[in-house]
Amino acid sequence: MIERATDCFGHLVFDRDAIVRAALRAYIEGFVAQLPNCLSFPASDGAMWAGDLQRGALYNDDGCGAYEVVAWTEAGIVGLAYELGWGPIEQLDLSVDAVTGGPDDVRGALPGLPSELESALVMAAGMLGVGPEHGQLDAGVGFWLHGDRVAGTMFDDRAPCGAQRLAAWGLLHNGRLLPLSSSSASSPRPGGIVIDYARLQDAPLHAIIDAVTDRALTGPTEFTTDELATLLPKPPAPETLVYAQRMLQKVGITWPGSPEIPPEEPQPKGPTPFLPRP
C-alpha cells in the first residue's frame, strides 16, 4: 500500500490487493444492478473482465465515450484512462507517424514503468479502444503501482483529462469503487471527485455483493437462495437473467444448481481483451 497526496484529488491510497478486490466487486455490482432490484448508481455498468485474480484486467466506461482500464499481475497494477477527444496524440505527444496500434501508443502515460509491469501494460492495452483517426490505442493518462512506488501522468501538476477516473481507484470506500461525482469531469475538487450514492434501502444488496465478492476471491461460488430472493424481488426478463448469469460466470459466480446457460451470441466489435503468455 502506498499513500500519495495530490493537489487535484486530495489524499489517495493505492493498494494492489484492494484494487483487485474493488475491480471484482465493481464488476459484480454492475451486473447485479441490471437485475430488477432498484440498486442505485453502480460504479460500473456492464464492465468487461479479462483473465483472473492473479493476472487480469477490468474495462469500465461511462457509456458516453470515456473509460478506464485497470490491469494487474502479481507484481502490481497498471491503469490507463481516456476522456473523449483526449488520447495519446492530444495528451502524450504521440506523433501520427509513431502510431503502432499497440502498447507503445500509450507508454508515455507510464513514465518509469518497471519491467515487471510490462505484461500488465500489455493486458491493459489489449482492452483499450482504437481511435478511428489513425488507429491509435486510445488512452491519454495513466498510473502504475509496484511495491512501494506509484507514478504516472495522472500525478502531473495539472491533471490530464481522464485522471479523475484513475484517482477513483485511490479513493476506495470500504473496499468499494465509487461512481464519479457529476462535477468531477469538468472541475475536479480535492477528495470530491467520487460520491457514495447508496441509499438506506441499498444496504442489503451491497451486503450481498460484499459477501459474494469475498467468496469469489477464494474460488468459485454461487448465490444462495436467500441472496437471490433479495436480489430478485421479481423475475427479470429471461434475456436479462441469462446475460447476467453469463457475465458473472466469467468470475466464477453461478446460480444454485448451476443451470446450463445458452452459448453467447456474437457481440458488436469493441475493445478486445487479450492476455499475454506468462
pLDDT digits (tens, 9 = 90+) for 15-35: 999 999 999 999 999 999 888
Distances, alpha carbon 220 to alpha carbons 7, 126, 160, 217, 271, in Å: 41, 26, 39, 8, 26
The answer to whether residue 30 is domain-embedded is: yes
The answer to whether residue 221 is domain-embedded is: no
pLDDT of residue 1: 84
Question: Taking the CA of residue 190 as centre, how many other CA atoms within 13 Å lie in the half-sphere pointing to its CB?
Answer: 7
Beta-carbon contacts of residue 89 (< 8 Å; ≥ 6 apart)? 95, 96, 99, 131, 133, 134, 136
Task: Summarize the chain as % helix, strand, coil (round to 5).
Answer: 30, 20, 50
**CA–CA distance, 250 with 58 (Å, rounded to integer):** 12
pLDDT of residue 183: 57
Angle, helix 16-32 to helix 238-249, in steps of 10 degrees: 160
**CA–CA distance, 43 with 178 (Å, rounded to integer):** 5
DSSP track, 178-205: PPBPTTTTTS--TT-SB-----GGGHHH
Of the candidates 145, 163, 162, the residue with the CA atom closest to the CA atom of residue 154: 163
The answer to whether residue 97 is domain-embedded is: yes
Angle, helix 203-216 to helix 16-32, in steps of 10 degrees: 130
The answer to whether residue 158 is domain-embedded is: yes
| Domain hosting residue 60, numbered range | 2-170
pLDDT digits (tens, 9 = 90+) for 37-54: 878 888 887 799 999 999
The answer to whether residue 261 is domain-embedded is: no
The answer to whether residue 95 is domain-embedded is: yes
Cell of 14: 493505492
Pure H helices in the chain: 16-32, 88-91, 118-125, 163-167, 203-216, 225-231, 238-249
The answer to whether residue 181 is domain-embedded is: no
Cell of 273: 481483451
Torsions phi, psi for 198 (to 5 deg): -60, 135
pTM for the model: 0.89
Torsions phi, psi for 258 (to 5 deg): 45, 65
pLDDT of residue 113: 97
The answer to whether residue 277 is domain-embedded is: no
Domain count across the chain? 1
With a cut of 70, which residues of the chain have pLDDT below it? 182-192, 258-259, 261-278
Of the candidates 96, 90, 31, 94, the residue with the CA atom closest to the CA atom of residue 58: 31
pLDDT of residue 225: 93
**CA–CA distance, 8 with 158 (Å, rounded to integer):** 8
